Structure 1
Amino acid sequence: MPEVVRTPLSHPAWQHWPGSLLAAAIILLAVCGAGALFWQAPALDIGDLWASRYLRSVVLFTLWQAFLSVSLSVLLALPIARALDRHRNFVGRGLLLRLMELSLVVPTIVAVSGLVSMYGRQGWLTVAIQEWLPFLSWNLYGLNGIVLTHVFFNAPLAARILLQALESAPSTQRRIASQLGLGSLWLWRSLEWPSIRPVLPGIVALVFTLCFTSFAIVMTLGGGPATSTIEVAIYQALRFEFDAGRAALLALIQLLICGTLWWLVLRKGLDTALVPDRQLVISHARPDAKGVRKLLDSTLLAAFVLFLTLPLLAVLARGLPGLAEALAPSGFASQGLRLLQATALSLGIALPAGVVSVVTSLLILGAKPGNANTPISRLLETSAYLPLIIPPLVLATGLFLLLRPKLGIASEGLALVALINAMMALPFVMQLLRGPLRNLDPASTRLADQLGIRGWYRWRWLHWPRLRRPLALGLAYGTGLSLGDFGVIALFGSPSAPTLPVLLYQQLGSYQINAAAGTGLWLMVVLLALFGLFNLVGRPPTKSQGLHSPKPNQLETSNA
């Protein structure tokens, strides 16, 4: 009888069911949330949307600011990615790449406080511009601040993904281009554009969704009803006006726009890595990385570094006195105690959300069969990208309308926040785990299959050594995304028991600038501490402790 060779992810049929059931539960949860919206939406006729000047302006402004943000983010990301691709050995390049990756998890409200310190009415840069160029006027609040903050967050992420696409260009083509001495324009036509063209639709869809569903940025920098977005209008309709019909209608419009966009992208497959791979492909050097081009690239990268670091440095400079005041014995009873309580509540939501996102990603990836055209595979892919199609606040609105008669206990609302945050992080965590999980060593896998190693021993000796670091990074991303959440918690949370982002927003709203800066710095410290802790957990042991694959005698001992 011929030997059956299993694929690296082949398991008994029953092991596919947990992931499939989880995927079905995610889809069911989303359907229930959307169904609640459909149930409430008839309370307000669709014609009232265009009859109301306010609702019409909200929808049009949301589309306009998202379009501007996407355009500027991609236009800035393209030259940054090309400059980083041309120069791979300058000092600080690795640190810059890590900083660009962190733009995905830096709490929005913290970056907003830093940008206010730089570009606000009394900001460092604003004061300098008024002194040197008094004829120039600048107002951070409104469309200017919203677009600037969106570019601050999304341009680094887009540039990092574009850089990965450029780095993955075939080395043979790079070698030929170097030998021919092709200029920048010819390199763009023959090498760069074919590399980035497949990933551009995914980048545009991702950045558009992040800007279209922006909440904390618009709440802080919007400046009035004329610059409200759909998410802010949903929040105001539920929290202040108690108009469930209007909130449901706006949520349905948002779902329709985001869902249509992602359907257009996903119907041909997604070629974009939502989270960049740290293992970049370093290939042959480019022939245009010298002369005037080198000077221009250096100037561009220096300006980009200042653009990213100055707001964070402003948070550090203004946050140290505020944090010291909050933690001092004289102010601890009022500010420090509230800060620690908000920290405990934030971690109580973020840590379970991170664990749930990692476990769910593992089970869904482990359940996906090799054939990508099966109904189960389509179900799993749909559940993976559903949080991008249905924005978190839209899902939260539907569940709020569905469960509001029973959400009388605060802990139930916080558990729902943790669940929605875990779903929000699911697409990014799955991107981190998909590659390592699919690229397991076939020889070790076949040996484990032949020895009949299953269950805990298979995980301990085969999967854990290779997934240790990706799992720790995925847990850090899932926890960090939930820790900085301000949208869902603003809907379900209580102002008297705020999380760190809500506390920071309250301080900014009451013009407690020093206290807000201290809270923002503390939130960044907690986030960096979590990433450092998970990095220690994911650090592989030394070779003497068995860093590489187990030997056959180890597998036999484990099987025994």
Structure 2
Amino acid sequence: MARRAVAVIETPRWPGRIAVALVLVVLFGPLVAVVWRAEGIAALSRADVSAIRFTVWQAFASALISIGFAIPVARALARRRFRGRQALITLLGVPFLLPVIVAILGLLAVFGRAGILNELLAAIGLPDVSIYGAHGVILAHVFFNLPLAVRLILQGWVAIPSERFHLAASLNAPIWQVLEKPMLRNVLPGAFVVIFLICLTSFAVALTLGGGPRATTIELAIYQAFRLSFDLAGAATLTLVQLAICAGVALLAFVITAPDAMGRGLDRVVARWDGSVWTDAAWIGAAALFLLVPLIMVVLRGLPGLLDLPPSVWGAAARSVMIAIVSAGLTLALALALALRGGGWMMIIGTLPMAFSGLVLGTGLFLIAFPLVNPTRLALPVTALVNSLMALPFVLRVLAPAVAQVETQFGPLAGALGLRWWARVRIVILPRLRRPLGFGGGIAAALSMGDLGVITLFSNGGASTLPHEMYRLMGAYQMEAAAGAALVLVTLSLGLFWLFDQGGRTDADA
């Protein structure tokens, strides 16, 4: 009787099991702690319902505007070739890695009360505008997520085989109808859901630009219930509501995929003849202006502020760098373990942190630590732990395809040579993952450097991070010093990303 074939396990499986257990414990343990310590949940107040409604509405509006703006920008970049194009695409991606609090300061320099826009309006006799409120929250979310939307949609455009364009031209068929619209129907739902989810769990944006009764998000309401009134039941209720919404959206993001309906071509670059060059240039210029001017203002206003930095900023900067390095290392270890284990369940586990918010995890960990130790002593380790989980979905998306590609290319040869377990990982896989490991580590370090979430719960000022210190300076109306701290923060964030990325490229296999 024939026996059923059994798959041979070629790489160690226990690191993947440990990673799964750690992710599940750190995600669901704090949630259980919040509900248990609250001794039940409370009824939603009118303010809570308003916060839930505003959170969903602003996330939908932010994602819709980001996608709507990104479509013509990505289309223009896809069909135009010009000097500096790749550098421009790289620069347009900087806001996604930029610390939130720094980007907000840059937006205030452009759209704030004393910003460039209001100065121009005053010069022509028009009333000024305010960035604070719902429109400011949406503006900031579009600033952060437009680069992500452009990259996601641009990948769809680049993936269309050049032979399809030649065929459409020979048949005199409309390219938009036969090629571009079908591609967008595949790509847009997934991109929209991912950006919607990011905006749904945003905290720092609502803390600095919202906060009023009509511009309070669930994250901000949880923070207020826990930090200001210590209403555990209210915080638990809002936590469960947010988790339900995020879990549903995260599941939708996992289910909605972009099938490859275009087939494969010969990887040739096609010279596009359709569309107006001036229209494409206008869209690219508008996106560059919107994204790069706030960054330039951060540099210009930050240089004079370097002279007014208090000593506490440098201590906070050192702590932030330490947290970022530890967080990046833990993220890489978890992502690599899950990627080596492989399979759909590993991707689901690695995507789970997108259904949680760092603030919710921090609240639960605070409640767990409170009876045992002074939570302020755990501010830095907890911040590093939560930051590592928040970056896990992004890093896993970088590593998992790279591991699968290495196994496809070199797995049969490694099996023929008898390379299994750690020898297979050490000799075959890791040397060919230097680039994605460096890039993923850079993403994790940059995201951790700019986090302003968990530290607001645990820190009492003695163990502050650089984003928290910058927020305190802004709250004390020391805007020049805050601008200097912002320049230090963005320099360290992008510097860490560059160091990790370059470290992955050094002597790496092509």
> Shared topology, TM-score over 0.5?
yes
Which residue matches 1:71? Answer: 64
| C-alpha spacing 1:282/1:298, structure 2 compared with 1 (3 Å) | farther
* Cα shift at 1:71: 1.4
C-alpha offsets along residues 87-119 of structure 1, whole Å, 9 cap, x if unaligned? 1x2122111211233332210000000110111
Pair 1:397–1:63, CA change in 2 (3 A): same
1:100 aligns with 2:92: yes
Cα deviation for residue 40 of structure 1 reads: 4.6
Matched, 1:210 2:198: yes
What letter matches 1:347 in structure 2?
V
* Separation in 2, partners of 1:504, 1:497: 13
Residues 439-462 of structure 1: CA deviation (Å, up to 9, x unaligned): 116564333333333466544542
> What is the match of residue 184 of structure 2?
196
Partner of 1:45: 42
- Is 1:354–1:476's contact at 8 Å kept on the other side of the alignment? yes
C-alpha distance in 2, partners of 1:29/1:343? Answer: 26
2:154 to 163, 180, 203: 163
For residues 541 and 534 of structure 1, what CA distance do their matches in structure 2 show? Answer: 14
| Pairwise CA distance, 1:241 | 0.8
CA contact (8 A) 2:16 2:341 kept: yes
Aligned to 2:229: 241
In structure 2, what is the equivalent of residue 55 of structure 1? Answer: 48
Query: Within 2, Cα distance between the matches of 1:82 and 1:171?
Result: 15
Q: What is the one-letter code of the residue matched to 2:131? A: L
Alignment of 1:101-500 (within 5 A): 101-132=93-124, 134-182=125-173, 186-222=174-210, 224-266=212-254, 268=255, 270-271=257-258, 283-289=269-275, 293-326=276-309, 335=310, 337-369=311-343, 377-378=344-345, 380-408=346-374, 410-440=376-406, 442=408, 444-454=410-420, 458-500=424-466
Q: 1:26 to 1:464 in 2, by over 3 A?
A: closer
Displacement of 1:484:
0.5
Aligned-partner Cα distance in 2 for 1:90–1:180: 28
C-alpha change, 1:281 and 1:129, in structure 2 (3 Å) is farther
Partner residue, 1:30: 27
Contact 2:366 2:375 in 1 (8 A): no
CA 1:170–1:6 in 2, change beyond 3 Å: closer, same or farther?
farther
Aligned to 1:225, what secondary structure does the other structure show?
coil
Once residues 179 and 146 of structure 2 are traced to their aligned partners in structure 1, the CA distance between those partners, rounded to angstroms, is: 22
Distance 1:112 1:272 in 2: 36
CA distance in 1, matches of 2:319, 2:178: 53
SS in 2 for 1:227: coil
* Aligned-partner residue type, residue 211 of structure 1: C
Moved more, 469-478 or 59-68: 59-68
Q: 1:406 to 1:198 in 2, by over 3 A?
A: farther
- Tell me the distance in 2 between the aligned counterparts of 1:444 and 1:62: 47
Deviations 1:212-246 (A, max 9, x none): 11111111111523321111111111111111111
Q: What's the offset of the Cα at 1:303?
A: 1.4
Q: Is the 8 A contact 1:215 1:487 kept in 2?
A: yes
Does the aligned pair in 2 maintain the 1:37–1:252 contact within 8 Å? no
Structure 2 vs 1, CA of residues 114 and 282 (structure 1 numbering), >3 Å: closer, same or farther? farther
Q: TM-score, normalised by structure 1?
A: 0.84
- Amino acid in the other structure paired with 1:341: G
Q: Give the whole-Å Cα distance in 2 for the aligned partners of 1:6 and 1:396.
A: 43
Q: Which runs of 5+ in 1 are unaligned?
A: 274-279, 327-334, 370-376, 549-560
Q: Secondary structure at the match of 2:114?
A: coil
* Structure 2 CA distance for aligned equivalents of residues 320 and 272 of structure 1: 48
Question: Residues of 2 paired with 1:151 and 1:41: CA distance?
Answer: 36
Whole-angstrom CA distance in 2 between matches of 1:153 and 1:95: 19
Taking only aligned residues, the RMSD between alpha carbons, in angstroms, comes to 2.5
Alignment-mate amino acid for residue 74 of structure 2: A
Say which of 75, 82, 103 aligns to 1:82: 75
Does the 8 Å contact 2:71/2:150 carry over to 1?
yes
Q: Which residue of 2 is the match for residue 20 of structure 1?
A: 17
Assess if the C-alpha contact under 8 Å between 1:36 and 1:401 holds in 2.
Answer: yes
Q: Do 2:95 and 2:291's aligned partners in 1 also have CA atoms closer than 8 Å?
A: no
CA distance in 2, matches of 1:484, 1:223: 20
SS at match of 2:131: coil
> What do the CA deviations read for 1:467-500 (whole angstroms, capped 9, x no partner)?
1111111110111111110012212223233111
Cα offsets for 1:48-79 (capped at 9, x unmatched): x1xx3322222222122212211111111111
Q: Distance in 1 between matches of 2:243 and 2:249?
A: 10
Q: Verify the 8 A CA contact 2:332 2:441 in the aligned structure 1.
A: yes
Q: Deviations over 1:298-337 (max 9, x none)?
A: 01111111111110110000000111343xxxxxxxx1x2
Equivalent-residue separation in structure 2 for 1:165 and 1:6 (angstroms): 37
- Counterpart CA distance in 2 for 1:192 and 1:313 is 34
Aligned residues: 501
* Aligned partner letter, 2:136: G
Q: In the aligned structure 2, how far is the partner of 1:325 from the partner of 1:45?
A: 47
How high is the TM-score relative to the length of structure 2?
0.92
Q: What is the CA distance between 1:160 and its match in structure 2?
A: 0.9
Give the Å deviation of 1:204.
1.6
Unaligned segments of structure 2, at least 5 residues: 261-265
Aligned equivalents of 1:252, 1:80: Cα separation in 2? 38
Structure 1 Cα separation of the partners of residues 48 and 154 of structure 2: 39
